[in-house]
Structure formats: C-alpha cells, structure tokens
A and B are shown apart, each in its own frame.
Chain A
Amino acid sequence: MAALPDLYERMRFIRRFEETLLDLFSQGKLVGTTHTYIGQEANGVGVIDHLDPEVDVVFSNHRCHGHYLEFTGDAYGLLCEVMGRAPGTCGGKGGSQHLCKGNFYSNGILGSIVPVATGIALAEKQKGTGAVSTVFLGDGALGQGVVYESLNMASLWRLPVLFVVENNHYAQSTPIELELAGSIPARAEAFGICTAELDTTDVEEIHAAAGRAVSHVRETSEPFFLVLHTYRFSPHSKGDDTRDPAEIEERRTRDPLLVAGARLDSAEREAIDARVEERLAEVVAEAEAAPEATPEAAVL
C-alpha cells in the first residue's frame, strides 16, 4: 500500500494538472472541452492504487484525467492529447474524453462504457488472467438503462468487475434531487452484488475501502459496487457553473488535499508541492514544444 505522502503527491499532481488545463484554456492555448477532476482526486487515487496496470483494466468516462494519470502516470501524453499535439496518447484524435493507453480506456457517452467494461471482464475471466475490470461512473450515468443491464450480467455471470460510482451530486448542472430516485447502493444490491458506501474526502479511508473491494473482486471473481459520495469544486466542464458559491465554499473546507495535507509535516508537504510544480512545468513546456497533430496522421 502506498504511504500517505505518496497518495498526497498523486492527488496534488492531478489537482495542479487540471488547474493548469483550465489556465491553458483561459489563455486560449486549448480548444474543445474538458471535464476536470478537481475535488474528486481522493477517489481515483484511493481506488487505482490497488490495481496493477500490467494486468488490470480501467474504463473511465468523460471525467477521466484523474483516473488516467493515476493508472498510467502519463501526464505528457495526456496534455499533448488535450492540446492536439502529435505525441498525444491518441495522436490528437481522441482529445480529453477518448483516451487509450495500455489497459486504460475512456469514452464520452455516459453509461455507455459500463457494458464494455463488463465484456472486458468476461474476456479476462475466460482467458484466466485474473484481471479486475474497473469502471468509473457517476450519479449522472445512473440514468442510463445499460448500467442496469450490465449489473445484471455481471452478477449473473459472476464477472470480475469493480463498479465505482463517484456521486458528485450533479449531472452537469442538474442537482441529484432532480435526476435520481431511490438509493444508489440498493440498485446494485437488487442484483445480488456486494456494495460499500463511503461519504468522505479522506484518501486513506477511501484507499482502505477500495482495497477491500478490489480484493473481493480478485479473490471471488465476482463484481463489487463501490459508492463514493464526493464533490467537484470546478465547473462541469469550463465556465458552466450555476451552483451556489456558498455550497462550494463549504465543500472546500473538506478538500481531500487539505485533509491529507494536514497529516503531513509541513516541510514535507511543501517539498511535495514544489516537486509537483517542477514536474508539471516540465510537462507543460515539453507539450507546448511538441508538434501539432497533422492531417496525414489522421488517416487510419
């Protein structure tokens, strides 16, 4: 298990990477769209630390940067991809929401990734690789019917899928009260799937619960449904935020970086923060110097 300073450093890197993207957007250096992970970092870091990138598979959604960075460590490939540069993870073809590297995939249609992750688990189970297929979805995706079809099949066929629901309480601009009825864990329990539910920004708590969830999937080759109640501090994508600023400020008092950072020695935390800035500056400089994707490369 990764120690707290390490978990903090990874969360800090995701936070600063995403803030940097928003800066680059406001400077006009990025086009298109992005959905940042600011505020939710403890989830991705706490879960993915238990996965082996050589064996396990992650399928993520439109808000995928945090998962990608944690699973692949490839900040340069991601930044180039979002900036439309040739060395991007997908040569600039995918952009922010459509990433692939090794055993990591993401796609931009909400809920649509869940059946695919289920099929991945079926294939890995047939091949006997022992892989855990982890899929990240949010409260918004729970409005899609294919999610429930997938829960049914994953349970019926005893597939090694870890469903991670990051409930950030908003589907784009729509608060959860207007988009979701009933209980989130009860949805999976109805299919006979083991669940756990956490309402915390403490990366160590999430890390411990996720460890139990991943072990369950790995040891039983059965699905698990992990519900993480969370919050994003940033807008859905860039400037589109209609939430009450007071609500966001209140949530910021429980910022996962503050919670974890408070447990570190201040000198150590400052050293980590400085190291993150240094790494990020290098990545930005390299990506800005990288060549743009060319149309010739876009022909398959």
Chain B
Amino acid sequence: MSATTQRRCVQVLNEALHELFATREDVVLLGEDVLDPYGGAFKVTQGLSDAYPDRVLTTPISEASLFGVAAGMALRGRRPILEIMFGDFIALGMDQIVNGIAKFREMYDDQVTVPLVVRTPMGGRRGYGPTHSQSLEKLLLGVPNVCVVAASECHDLGALLVHAVEDERPVFFIENKLMYGRPSRRPEDGHIGELAVREAGGEYPALTFSGNAFDDASATVVTYGGMLPVVLDAVTELILEHEIFCEVVALSQLLPLDLDPVLESVARTGALVTAEEGTLTAGVGAEIAARVSELAWSDLRRPVRRVAARDGIIPSARTLEDAMLPRVEDVIDVVLALEGVRS
C-alpha cells in the first residue's frame, strides 16, 4: 500500500466505531469530551455524535462512577463503549471493575452478562508526565473474568474493536497514544515491510514476525500494543547490524492469555524475551515468563529475560522519560546478552 493511501490508526478505529453504530442499535458511547466538534481528546470519536446524537453521551469527569454506569447499561441489554481519556484513569474505576464488572456474571450464577467495552489509551513518550503516560494494563491481568485486548498498529484494529463490542465479556480495549497518529500497517502478501508475518488465534489474534522466513532464529521476543514498533525496530537492527534473527510475537489478547503462538515460536528459537512499556515488577512479562517456563521448560535453552520500564514514575522531561521507558537499545542489549546468541 502506498504511503498516500495508508490510513492512520485513529482513522481505522473511528471508521470501526461508525460501522458499529450503523449496524447495531444497541451500541452507545459515553466518555468525557466525546462530542463533536471536539470528538474526544484523541479524536477517535470524531463525527459520531453528529451522526448519532442520541447514542453518544458526553459525561462529567466522574470516572469512578462511569465504569458503574456502563456496567448498569450492559446489564440491561445495551452495548456501551466507555472511552476513558487516559489509561491512567482506570485507577479511579478499580472498585467498579474488580467488585462489579468482573464479578456480576459469575457471582450471579451466569444469569447476566456485562458486555461493555472500555476503550482507553496507554503509553508514554509524549512528555505527559507521571499520571498521563503509564501503561497500567498489567493491573487488569489480576482481575479474573475480564478480557484485556491490546491493539497494535499491525493488527486489524477495526476487526478487534468490532469483536470487542460483540463479546459477551467485559473487554478492556487498550489503545496507545503514539499509535493513533501512526499508519495502520497490515500484512500484504504475508509481509509487513521486510518481515514475514503469520496471524493466528481467534477474535484477538497474535502476529508472529520473522526476518528469515521462520528459519532458525536466536530468540522469540513477545510484546504487544505500543511497544511493538520499538521491538520491530530492534529486531531489524539486530538483523542489519549483528546478523542475529529473532522472531517477534505481537499479542493482542493479554487476558485470558493465549500463549500458543509464543510456545510455537519458542519451540523454534529456544529463548524468550518479553518486552512491555509498563513497569517491570509483576508485569505482563512476568506472567508470560512464568507460564512459558511451566509449559515449555524443555524448549528453553536459557532463562527468560524481561524488558520493561524501570520501577518508578514516568518523568515529564524528554531526557528523563527516555531514560525511564524501554528503548530500542534495551531490547537489542537484552537479546545480545542472551547466552549463546553471539556464537
């Protein structure tokens, strides 16, 4: 696809919302500043309220309650999409998420479902500082009965969002601030750029990338969301500068974790690196590392390594933020440090 026809990720998500509103009367959207002409802080809802004024609701700044309002609507047969302006603000909704949204279906003995979608952007690298830059999706991984989907620029964003709205489970749809403005990059003839790509899984598939047609590779790097372009840059540089080939698995479904594509790749490579933008401790990578160690110990020839943000705040100043968040060089360094990789 030529650069002139490539759509930005924000446009793809916006078109998916328009398609959902056109095809389903029960879909409603609520959030802060979502009305036209503003169209949401990141412009994902542009045009929706003009087209569907009765189904798009701009709200007070009341996140703690909005999760509950959306839950109530979902319990009563609506398909609410709740836009939370910054992912950091899910912290305000944790009671509703943990003690309501995630519990209603099971504790009410399957008499109800809570089919809501929470759309929210995570991620830093924009200088927004400690409370508007975090990647907090890992907090949701400890909440049974919710589904966490992380969108990346290489996934079919529209299909992911449509599946999320049609899902009977509560879905946390994690977007990324830098992703919005980047081009949507879908595989063409099985490739994205120079890398071969395989797509596997159900409604929220994983993408597996290879720079040498899935021949021998030194390691598998598993990542998701806004960290994917960082990892792809790193593996490209490893090929060009070091002639080291890695496979990359980009998950879109973080919870429940489906690690089949990771296990398949690790069976080929014998080594695993996890890469995420969130902080290291008790992160997504920790859970993946534990599970792969349990399920594929015999395939692993060396310990799993994790790349993540330092356990601290995300400072505002560009230089300080850069030092805090995982960079291309961090991924490269961890791969190069794997025992036997440079042999």
- A interface residues, Cβ below 8 angstroms from B: 57, 89-91, 93-94, 98-101, 105, 107-109, 112-124, 126-127, 133, 145-146, 149-150, 152-153, 156-157, 300
Select one of B65, B76, B110 contacting A120, CB under 8 A. B76
A93 CA to B112 CA, complexed, in Å: 14
For residue A95, which residue of chain B has the nearest CB? B107
A227 CA to B187 CA, complexed, in Å: 61
Q: Is B212 an interface residue (CB 8 A)?
A: no
The minimal Cβ–Cβ distance linking B118 to chain A, given in whole angstroms, is 13
Question: Contact: A145 with B76, CB < 8 Å?
Answer: no
Q: Is B4 an interface residue (CB 8 A)?
A: no
How many Cβ-Cβ contacts under 8 Å join chain A to chain B? 123
In chain B, positions 50-67 with a C-beta closer than 8 Å to chain A are 54-55, 57, 59-60, 62, 64-67
Q: Is B95 an interface residue (CB 8 A)?
A: yes
Question: Contact: A90 with B73, CB < 8 Å?
Answer: no
B97-123 vs A, Cβ < 8 Å mask (1 yes, 0 no): 001100111111111100000000000
Q: Is B68 an interface residue (CB 8 A)?
A: yes
Question: Contact: A109 with B59, CB < 8 Å?
Answer: no
The minimal Cβ–Cβ distance linking B75 to chain A, given in whole angstroms, is 6
Q: Which residues of A contact B55 (CB under 8 A)?
A: 126
Question: Contact: B76 with A100, CB < 8 Å?
Answer: no
A100 CA to B71 CA, complexed, in Å: 15
Question: Contact: A146 with B108, CB < 8 Å?
Answer: no
B139-159 vs A, Cβ < 8 Å mask (1 yes, 0 no): 000000100000000000000
Question: Contact: A119 with B95, CB < 8 Å?
Answer: no
- B interface residues, Cβ below 8 angstroms from A: 28, 54-55, 57, 59-60, 62, 64-78, 80, 95-96, 99-100, 103-112, 145
A149 CA to B32 CA, complexed, in Å: 14
Question: Contact: B96 with A123, CB < 8 Å?
Answer: no
A122 CA to B74 CA, complexed, in Å: 11
Question: Contact: B108 with A116, CB < 8 Å?
Answer: no
Select one of A93, A101, A149 contacting B64, CB under 8 A. A149
A126 CA to B106 CA, complexed, in Å: 27
Question: Contact: B65 with A94, CB < 8 Å?
Answer: no
The minimal Cβ–Cβ distance linking B69 to chain A, given in whole angstroms, is 4
A109 CA to B80 CA, complexed, in Å: 23
Known pairs A114-B68, A115-B72. 10 more at Cβ < 8 A? A116-B71, A116-B72, A117-B72, A118-B72, A122-B69, A122-B73, A149-B62, A152-B62, A157-B57, A300-B106
Q: Which residues of B contact A127 (CB under 8 A)?
A: 76-78
A157 CA to B151 CA, complexed, in Å: 33
Q: Which residues of A contact B77 (CB under 8 A)?
A: 123, 127
The minimal Cβ–Cβ distance linking B8 to chain A, given in whole angstroms, is 32
Evaluate whether A149 and B60 lie within 8 angstroms (CB atoms) in the complex, with A105-B75, A116-B72 already known: yes
For residue A146, which residue of chain B has the nearest CB? B65
Select one of A112, A145, A300 contacting B100, CB under 8 A. A112
Q: Which residues of B contact A153 (CB under 8 A)?
A: 59-60, 62, 65, 69
Q: Which residues of B contact A146 (CB under 8 A)?
A: 62, 64-65, 68, 95
A83 CA to B110 CA, complexed, in Å: 19
Q: Which residues of B contact A105 (CB under 8 A)?
A: 75, 104, 108
Q: Which residues of B contact A133 (CB under 8 A)?
A: 72
Evaluate whether A123 and B76 lie within 8 angstroms (CB atoms) in the complex, with A98-B108, A109-B95, A156-B60 already known: yes
The minimal Cβ–Cβ distance linking A167 to chain B, given in whole angstroms, is 22
Question: Contact: B109 with A100, CB < 8 Å?
Answer: yes
Q: Which residues of B contact A93 (CB under 8 A)?
A: 106-109
Of A89, A94, A101, the most chain B CB neighbours within 10 A belong to A94
For residue B60, which residue of chain A has the nearest CB? A152
Of A109, A119, A149, A157, the most chain B CB neighbours within 10 A belong to A119
The minimal Cβ–Cβ distance linking A89 to chain B, given in whole angstroms, is 8
A107 CA to B98 CA, complexed, in Å: 12
The minimal Cβ–Cβ distance linking A214 to chain B, given in whole angstroms, is 19
A153 CA to B100 CA, complexed, in Å: 19
The minimal Cβ–Cβ distance linking B70 to chain A, given in whole angstroms, is 6
The minimal Cβ–Cβ distance linking A211 to chain B, given in whole angstroms, is 25
For residue B61, which residue of chain A has the nearest CB? A149
Top 4 closest pairs, chain A to chain B, by CB = A119-B72, A115-B68, A119-B69, A100-B108
A116 CA to B78 CA, complexed, in Å: 13
Q: Which residues of B contact A114 (CB under 8 A)?
A: 65, 68
For residue B108, which residue of chain A has the nearest CB? A100
The minimal Cβ–Cβ distance linking A199 to chain B, given in whole angstroms, is 29
5 example contacts (A-B, Cβ-Cβ < 8 A) are as follows A100-B109, A119-B73, A127-B76, A153-B69, A300-B110
A113 CA to B112 CA, complexed, in Å: 16
A76 CA to B103 CA, complexed, in Å: 24
Select one of A89, A100, A126, A149 contacting B112, CB under 8 A. A100
Q: Which residues of B contact A149 (CB under 8 A)?
A: 60, 62, 64-65
Question: Contact: B65 with A118, CB < 8 Å?
Answer: yes
A194 CA to B38 CA, complexed, in Å: 34
Question: Contact: A98 with B69, CB < 8 Å?
Answer: no
Question: Contact: B108 with A90, CB < 8 Å?
Answer: yes
Q: Which residues of B contact A91 (CB under 8 A)?
A: 109
The minimal Cβ–Cβ distance linking A43 to chain B, given in whole angstroms, is 23
